[in-house]
Amino acid sequence: SEESNLCDLLRDYDKPAQEVIAEMTDGGVDR
């Protein structure tokens, strides 16, 4: 599924997942 692919992708990043998601979503989930 797309969701599990995203999790696998995030494991490849050195940054925290939240930072990566913030960049990908142009602001992040918390804002």
Burial 9-23 (b: 16+ CB within 10 A, else e): eeeeeeeeeeebbbe
7 annotated ligand-binding residue: yes
13: left (phi over 0), alpha (psi -120 to 50) or beta: beta
Binding positions: 7
Residues in binding site for Zn(2+): 7
